[in-house]
């Protein structure tokens, strides 16, 4: 059997999805990147290798996320795509008539507007990360609520408290203030969800034409409190797809399937990569005033790629092609 | 006297030429880099927009290289740029940096100030000498702008990424060194040939994207994270709404002679914006409409963060985009803008535009087939 592998290497999580020929999910993984994308990718590959059914071969690999270039270089990818396109592809696969995708990940959030199966508009958060997964994690920890129970707690609220959601730091001080005034924790948690949704709609989704059906993707979609807050603010039902947390990786796998269609080879280096020794080094190029930080990545001692320079002086050296 | 001036795209080429022809020594600040931004953000107010910060960085770097006089543009109208020369003068004074500032006010109603400013810098050069120096500088500027337009076409089709950028660097350098109008003409001819000789890709899958927005972020690659080059290397042909020579012609020359004709911009923008909002806010609207009508695939708006005229335009553009049917992507830039973040959005935008074009083509083929069926 042939299978397609998608990797989404983000700032907070590294996700892997393995698809079969019909596009059904064979296995999916959600790992914490923990500041070490190389280790996360290797760990993920090792786990997929364990779970892969006998007689299955990898026919195509796609990468996405902020670490897409690194991951592509490491594993040998057939396609490297930005996370907006990857999320849109996965959403369309889930629900072909989808018109809006709300996505909130670890450190970024985005909105994708689709019409008749095509992306027509999108936006990503620019100035502020208030309302993303990292912030929710932090607040849950501060309130002593496990993040998994955060949403259920919010659902029990009767009178959500109004919390200033413009900035993560001010939201936190406002929450502390409300706690000190004696508001019940569930009302604060629900209020926080509403504040974050308000912030998202006023910043990321500003000026966007939100229409149903709406899909809610990303790790934060697991939070029922956030989903309800979106439904309340938008007045439409919000659908959370089963693989919401790994939609980027799913999209990358679907894109890999498309990329290798009609050819018989893949750039995949094989699962051995999980045992390779990778070394990354960076230095400041003194060639001009830009002082680009040039990154160099070696696998098993061999130069695989360089990037980070604006002029191509370093990245255009002949290295083994990472595939595009 | 050693004169310096702020960077803005290739403005330093004609400016240096102008002063050199008048026998005035110049110090061109180093290309905008990390050090420039570090100095600028350290000494300029945090809430000012990026041009002010970069200007301050330019001046401080030039002062280290021995410059003693800054030539800075003034301004009128609602954009706060008009006030920057004054603010910069204060910042430099507070820092104890010995730089005299000569502010050249726009000629609209300020002919006398402009003349006095020029006289002060040139040490009383006569009108004829200024005219001759201006002519050489002007030809350099128009040659650069003509060749840059060509560069955008070539870059989107080059077989080796970076080949046209390399040629462009050579062209700018040669134009910078040209000493007479005839020499400029020769370099311009060579430049055209240089660009024409660059090997092209075999496919012609090129997207066309219009760039609108604030003039400084549009013209200065170091500030817009080289968006034109990045797009070009993604196979996108860029059409920019502002070229410096056009701007000088319409705003400095025609406007001051009461000959400026921007009725078309006002007419196009009228359904959305009925009056001047400063800077190029109104043009961001009108050019988006022009680009949609010209069949471009998309529009990108560039502006420094907190730029009032462009914020007005940004809030109107979603409606314009829907009405005229052209996708618009906005970048608000400041010293925190990241190349990685921009690249992700640009890639996604290109995916969107390519898919849109495929649909349109499929639809057209479908319509043609249907029409053929009807005829039969």
* Domain boundaries B206-376, corresponding CATH code: 3.40.50.11900
> Is the minimum CB–CB distance between B165 and chain A shorter than 8 Å?
yes
Q: What is the ipTM of this complex?
A: 0.83
Test A208 with B226 for CB contact under 8 angstroms. Answer: no
Average pLDDT over residues A121-145: 81
Bigger pLDDT: A214 vs A130? A214
For an interface test with B, which of A289, A290, A293, A316 has the most B Cβ atoms less than 10 Å from its Cβ? Answer: A289
Same domain, yes or no, for A11 and A104? no
The tokens for B203 are 């496919």
Same domain, yes or no, for A236 and A253? no
Same domain, yes or no, for A71 and A178? no
pLDDT at A128: 64
pLDDT at B31: 93
Average pLDDT over residues A159-173: 82
Where are chain B's structural domains? 2-124, 128-155+157-203, 206-376
Confidence of residue A169 (pLDDT cuts 50, 70, 90): confident
> Is the minimum CB–CB distance between A318 and chain B shorter than 8 Å?
no
How many C-alpha atoms does A133 have within 13 Å on its Cβ side?
23
Test B355 with A118 for CB contact under 8 angstroms. Answer: yes
Closest by Cβ to B351, choosing from A85, A207, A316: A85
pLDDT tens digits along A97-118:
999 999 998 878 899 999 999 9
Same domain, yes or no, for A259 and A293? no
pLDDT at A287: 80
> Is the minimum CB–CB distance between B189 and chain A shorter than 8 Å?
no
Test A124 with B340 for CB contact under 8 angstroms. Answer: no
Average pLDDT over residues A128-154: 83
pLDDT at B80: 86
pTM score, whole prediction: 0.88
pLDDT at A320: 44
How many domains is chain A partitioned into structurally?
3
Cβ contacts of B347 on chain A, cutoff 8 Å = 81-82, 84-85
> Is the minimum CB–CB distance between A316 and chain B shorter than 8 Å?
yes
**In this model, does residue A175 exceed pLDDT 60?**
yes
B2-124 placed in CATH 3.10.450: no
Same domain, yes or no, for A129 and A222? yes
Mean pLDDT of each 10-residue bin along chain B, 376 residues long: 94 94 94 92 92 96 95 82 91 94 76 78 82 94 97 95 93 95 96 96 91 96 95 96 88 67 88 91 96 97 94 95 94 86 93 91 80 76
Average pLDDT over residues A236-249: 96
Confidence of residue A316 (pLDDT cuts 50, 70, 90): low
pLDDT at B255: 66
Has residue A287 been placed in a domain?
A: yes
Has residue A95 been placed in a domain?
A: no
Confidence of residue A171 (pLDDT cuts 50, 70, 90): confident
pLDDT tens digits along A265-274:
899 999 999 9
* Long-range CB contacts (within 8 A, 24+) of A20-28: A23/A93, A23/A254, A23/A257, A25/A243, A25/A250, A26/A51, A26/A52, A26/A53, A26/A56, A27/A51, A27/A52, A28/A243, A28/A246, A28/A249, A28/A250
Domain boundary among A190, A216, A240: A240
pLDDT at A134: 83
Has residue A292 been placed in a domain?
A: yes
Test A316 with B162 for CB contact under 8 angstroms. Answer: yes
CA distance A140 to B180: 70
Burial class (CB within 10 angstroms; exposed 0-12, middle 13-18, buried 19+) of B192: middle
pLDDT at B254: 67
Q: Would B2-124 and B206-376 be classified into the same CATH topology?
A: yes
Test A120 with B351 for CB contact under 8 angstroms. Answer: no
Cβ contacts of B327 on chain A, cutoff 8 Å = 120-121
The C-alpha of A66 sits at a distance from chain B's nearest C-alpha, in angstroms, of: 8
Residue in chain B closest to A110 (alpha carbons) equals B345
CA distance A156 to A150: 10
Has residue A36 been placed in a domain?
A: yes
Residue in chain B closest to A310 (alpha carbons) equals B226
**In this model, does residue A49 exceed pLDDT 60?**
yes
Test B341 with A126 for CB contact under 8 angstroms. Answer: yes
Test B351 with A310 for CB contact under 8 angstroms. Answer: no
Same domain, yes or no, for A28 and A75? yes
> Is the minimum CB–CB distance between B262 and chain A shorter than 8 Å?
no
**In this model, does residue A12 exceed pLDDT 50?**
yes
Same domain, yes or no, for A137 and A212? yes
Same domain, yes or no, for A116 and A224? yes
Same domain, yes or no, for A148 and A225? yes
Structural domain containing residue A312: 277-324
Has residue A93 been placed in a domain?
A: no
Test B348 with A316 for CB contact under 8 angstroms. Answer: no
pLDDT at B108: 65
Cβ contacts of A79 on chain B, cutoff 8 Å = none
Average pLDDT over residues A132-142: 84
Has residue A135 been placed in a domain?
A: yes
Per DSSP (E only), the strands in chain A are: 2-9, 13-19, 25-32, 57-64, 79-80, 100-104, 109-115, 118-124, 214-217, 238-239, 278-284, 293-299, 302-307
Q: What's the CATH code of the domain at A74?
A: 3.30.420.40
pLDDT at A323: 38
Test A312 with B162 for CB contact under 8 angstroms. Answer: yes
Closest by Cβ to A66, choosing from B36, B222, B340: B340
């Amino acid at each position: 059997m042939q299978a397609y592998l998608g990797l989404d290497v983000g700032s907070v999580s590294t996700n892997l999805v393995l698809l079969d020929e019909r596009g059904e999910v064979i296995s999916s993984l959600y790992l914490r990147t923990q500041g070490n994308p190389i280790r996360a990718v290797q760990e993920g590959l090792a786990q997929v290798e364990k779970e892969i059914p006998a007689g299955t071969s990898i026919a195509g690999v796609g990468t996405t996320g902020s670490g897409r270039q690194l991951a592509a270089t490491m594993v040998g990818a057939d396609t490297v795509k930005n996370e907006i396109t990857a999320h849109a592809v996965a959403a369309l696969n889930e629900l072909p008539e989808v018109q809006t995708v709300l996505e909130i990940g670890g450190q970024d959030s985005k909105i994708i507007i689709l019409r008749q199966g095509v992306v027509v508009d999108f936006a990503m958060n620019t100035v502020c990360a208030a309302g993303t997964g990292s912030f929710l994690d932090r607040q849950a920890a501060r309130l002593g609520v496990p993040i998994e129970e955060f949403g259920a707690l919010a659902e029990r609220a009767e009178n959500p408290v109004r919390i200033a959601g413009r900035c993560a730091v001010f939201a936190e001080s406002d929450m502390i203030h409300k706690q000190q005034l004696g508001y019940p924790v569930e009302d604060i948690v629900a209020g926080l969800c509403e504040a974050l949704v308000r912030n998202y709609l006023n910043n990321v989704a500003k000026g966007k034409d939100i229409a149903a059906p709406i899909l809610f993707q990303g790790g934060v979609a697991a939070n029922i409190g956030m989903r309800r807050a979106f439904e309340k603010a938008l007045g439409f039902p919000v659908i959370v797809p089963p693989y919401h947390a790994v939609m980027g990786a799913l999209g990358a796998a679907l894109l890999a399937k498309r990329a290798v269609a009609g050819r018989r080879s893949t750039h995949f280096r094989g699962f051995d990569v999980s045992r390779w020794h990778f070394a990354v080094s960076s230095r400041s190029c003194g060639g001009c005033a830009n002082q680009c930080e040039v990154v160099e990545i070696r696998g098993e001692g061999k130069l695989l790629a360089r990037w980070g320079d604006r002029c191509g002086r370093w990245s255009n050296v002949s290295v083994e092609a990472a595939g595009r | 006297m050693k004169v310096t001036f702020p960077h803005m795209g290739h403005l330093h080429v004609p400016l240096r030429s102008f002063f050199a022809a008048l026998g005035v020594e110049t110090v061109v600040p180093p290309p905008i880099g990390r050090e420039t931004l570090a100095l600028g953000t350290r000494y300029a107010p945090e809430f000012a927009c990026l041009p002010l910060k970069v200007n301050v960085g330019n001046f401080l770097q030039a002062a280290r290289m021995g410059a003693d006089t800054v030539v800075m543009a003034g301004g009128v109208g609602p954009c706060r740029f008009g006030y920057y020369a004054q603010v910069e003068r204060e910042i430099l004074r507070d820092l104890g940096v010995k730089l005299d500032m000569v502010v050249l006010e726009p000629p609209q109603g300020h002919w006398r100030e402009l003349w006095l400013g020029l006289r002060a810098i040139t040490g009383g050069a006569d009108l004829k000498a200024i005219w001759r120096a201006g002519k050489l500088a002007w030809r350099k500027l128009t040659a650069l702008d003509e060749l840059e337009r060509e560069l955008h076409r070539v870059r989107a089709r080059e077989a080796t990424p970076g080949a046209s950028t390399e040629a462009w660097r050579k062209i700018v350098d040669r134009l910078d060194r040209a000493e007479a109008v005839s020499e400029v003409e020769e370099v311009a001819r060579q430049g055209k040939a240089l660009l024409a000789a660059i090997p092209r890709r075999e496919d012609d899958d090129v997207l066309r994207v219009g760039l609108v927005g604030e003039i400084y972020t549009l013209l200065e690659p170091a500030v817009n994270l080289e968006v034109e080059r990045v797009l070009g290397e993604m196979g996108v042909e860029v059409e920019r709404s502002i070229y410096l020579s056009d701007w000088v012609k319409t705003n400095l020359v025609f406007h001051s002679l009461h000959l400026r004709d921007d009725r078309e911009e006002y007419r196009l923008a009228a359904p959305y914006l009925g009056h001047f909002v400063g800077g190029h806010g109104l043009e961001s609207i009108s050019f988006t409409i022009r680009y949609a009508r010209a069949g471009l695939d998309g529009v990108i708006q560039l502006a420094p963060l907190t730029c009032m005229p462009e914020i007005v335009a940004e809030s109107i553009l979603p409606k314009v985009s829907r009405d005229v049917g052209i996708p618009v992507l906005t970048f608000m830039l400041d010293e925190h803008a990241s190349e990685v973040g921009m690249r992700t959005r640009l890639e996604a935008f290109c995916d969107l535009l390519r898919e849109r074009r495929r649909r349109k083509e499929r639809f057209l083929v479908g319509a043609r087939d249907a029409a053929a069926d009807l005829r039969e």
